[in-house]
Amino acid sequence: MSASLTFPDLAAVVCCVGSYDPDALRVDQVQDIIACFVRSVRTAERVDIRAALGRVLAADVIAPFDVPSHDNAGMDGYALRGADLAAGGAAAPTVVGKGLAGHAYTGAVPSGACVRIMTGAVMPEGCDTVVPQEFVRLEGDVVHIPAGVLKPGDNARQRGEDLRAGQPALAVGKLLRPADIGLVASLGLPEVMVWRKLRVAFMSTGDELRSLGEPPAQGSVYDSNRYTLWAMLTRLGCEVLDLGVVRDDPAALETALRQACENADAVITSGGVSVGEADHMRAVMASLGDVVFWRIAMRPGRPMAFGRIESAGHGAMLFGLPGNPVAVMVTFYHFVREALLHMMGAQMQPLPLLSVVAQTTLRKRPGRTEYQRAVLERLPDGRLATRTTGDQGSGILRSMSRADGFIVLHHEQGSVQAGELVDFLPFEGLV
Ligand SMILES: Nc1nc2c(c(=O)[nH]1)N[C@H]1C(S)=C(S)[C@@H](COP(=O)(O)OP(=O)(O)OC[C@H]3O[C@@H](n4cnc5c(N)ncnc54)[C@H](O)[C@@H]3O)O[C@H]1N2
Ligand code: MOO
């Protein structure tokens, strides 16, 4: 439901991509086109910080005060004046009081004196150094500090050393993770502004598909794509709208797509985007908006539809993914995920590619990108290594389930010999 946003003509966007060939697009070209075309949802809402995990910040979070708000001890020990240390750091100050976290010592600390202090306690006036208790020898009230363990300023945390009042602690577009929730709490803020959740509708298409609970029939398969899509979208923090299995029938497909785009920001379908006889999906999609059909130079995940469809004045981004279960996940991770994050208003981070040792030879011809499902192992010498999870057919979902990530064989890359380094993309972090 992004009716108020303006979208470029898809034809104009694809024109900007050098050597555009819808039947042989490179993965990076597809990513560029999608990035040029999608628009962020710009509706903000204020939420409790416990509801903000996984959401995207709609406004900078500004520190309302210095963090920490006072100079404080970084160790349990004794606070003293650094100027009292002799050359080499030795000293023997006398204890004049005690400061605990939450119970500051407020008396004076004359030269030659020190204060028993605990981690986090406010530094007493004039003190700038803390000697950890394990370094000293106590003799009555006198703290003997040997030479060589301390220099002025050690173990004291400065007011504002983390953040100054007025500085942004977190920037708009940040996808909030546990540390961010803690950081916001440390600023005393119970709520933050986030962009509203993205609504994503999804459906499976194909007359062979059975939903869970239905009895199997000759030639039928249980619909798994809707469940992997549900799982990936849920992990991404989207509000999901499950439109079920839709038959390969033009009227049913049109009704489902219209319902999807009237109620969601994005629509994801699986199946029916190839060239089979029962694939009515392409015609129906094209009739509802600005949609292109691609054959991408990648494996798995070759056919894909992309564009924007409209119904009753509502528009939604459309991702028509191939039907094969592994192809659905691969195209989701490499195209849809980034597009949805962009629509969610998130600042994009490049995916972390590890360089690991290939345990076996990997056959590959240049001219397409391959994503082979693989496990990550630790070699006896400590290096990380990888091997594939066996048969790489794009219908074999177990190859994904057993894997820790993808071996990425880039477009220009040829075969990789056992023992060579290869790029590995861990699933963790994808969603
Ligand atoms: N002559 C050609 N045939 C095919 C091509 C091609 O370029 N030329 N591409 C192949 C590739 S690659 C893929 S991927 C598939 C994609 O075709 P569709 O998107 O039209 O998908 P379907 O034919 O509907 O299904 C393919 C396959 O996946 C199974 N499937 C579909 N949906 C689900 C689901 N929700 N849950 C579980 N399994 C599902 C379906 O039963 C088929 O086995 O086309 C190739 N053919
Ligand atoms: O999209 Mo297909 O997965 O290469 O079978």
Ligand 1: residue of 211, 324, 368, 369 to mutate (most ligand atoms within 8 A of CB) is 324
Q: Are residues 318 and 241 in the same domain?
A: yes
What per-residue confidence (pLDDT) applies to 278? 66
For the cut 80, the answer to whether the pLDDT of residue 195 exceeds it is yes
Alpha helices in 363-407 (DSSP H): 398-401
Stretch among 162-171, 191-200, 422-431 having the lowest mean pLDDT: 422-431
In the block, residue with structure tokens 């020990």: 77
- Report pLDDT digits (tens) over 210-237: 999 999 999 999 999 999 999 999 999 9
Both tokens of residue 123?
């530094």
Question: What's the average model confidence in pLDDT over 167-183?
Answer: 97
What does the block give as tokens for 352?
């972390």
Here the CATH number for the domain that contains residue 174 is 3.90.105.10
For residues 99 and 135, state if they share a domain: yes
pLDDT in tens, 310-362: 999 999 999 999 999 999 999 999 999 999 999 999 998 889 999 999 999 99
Structure tokens at 124: 């007493």
Work out how many domains the chain is built from and give that number: 4
Of the pLDDT bands very low, low, confident and very high (cuts 50, 70, 90), residue 87 is very high
Which ligand is located closest to the Cα atom of residue 330? 2
Q: Which helix (H) or strand (E) holds 263?
A: helix 250-263
- Closest protein CA for atom 25 of ligand 1: 323
Judge if ipTM > 0.90: yes
User: Which residues does 159 contact at the CB level (< 8 Å), separation at least 6?
Assistant: 66, 68, 69, 70, 71
Whole-angstrom CA distances from 27 to 45, 211, 379 are 35, 32, 31
Average pLDDT, the chain: 94
Q: Which atom of ligand 1 is nearest to the CA of 328?
A: 14
Residue 204 CA: which ligand 1 atom is closest? 35
Identify the CATH number of the domain in which residue 248 sits: 3.40.980.10
Expressed in angstroms and rounded, the spacing between residue 395 Cα and the centre of ligand 2 is 8
Residue 376 within any structural domain of the chain: yes
Residue 23 has a CB neighbour count (10 Å cut-off) of 10
Classify residue 185: in a domain, yes or no: yes
37: pLDDT strictly greater than 80: yes
Residue-wise pLDDT for 254-270, tens only, equals 999 999 999 999 999 99
pLDDT at 363: 96
pTM for this structure? 0.90
Does the N-terminal peptide bond of residue 352 adopt cis geometry, omega within 30 degrees of 0? no
In a domain, 140, yes or no: yes
Overall average pLDDT of the 294-316 stretch: 95
- Ligand 1, pocket residues at CB < 6 Å: 204, 206, 208-209, 221, 223-226, 270-276, 279, 302-303, 322-325, 327, 394-395
Give residue 167's domain range.
Answer: 45-66+162-195
- Give 383-411 pLDDT, tens digit per residue: 999 999 988 899 999 999 999 999 999 99
Ligand 2 atom nearest 274 alpha carbon: 1
Pick the residue whose CA is nearest to atom 4 on ligand 2: 300
User: Tokens for 294?
Assistant: 């691609």
Three-class SS state of 347: coil
Q: According to the model, what pLDDT value does residue 20 have?
A: 83
Peptide bond into 300 cis (omega under 30): yes
Q: Tell me the C-alpha to C-alpha distance, in Å, between residue 88 and each of 75, 201, 263, 324.
A: 21, 69, 72, 71
Q: What beta strand segments (E) does 276-363 contain? A: 289-295, 298-299, 303-311, 314-321, 354-358
Does the residue 16 lie in any domain?
yes
Q: Is the pLDDT of residue 2 over 80?
A: no
**CA-205 nearest atom, ligand 1:** 32
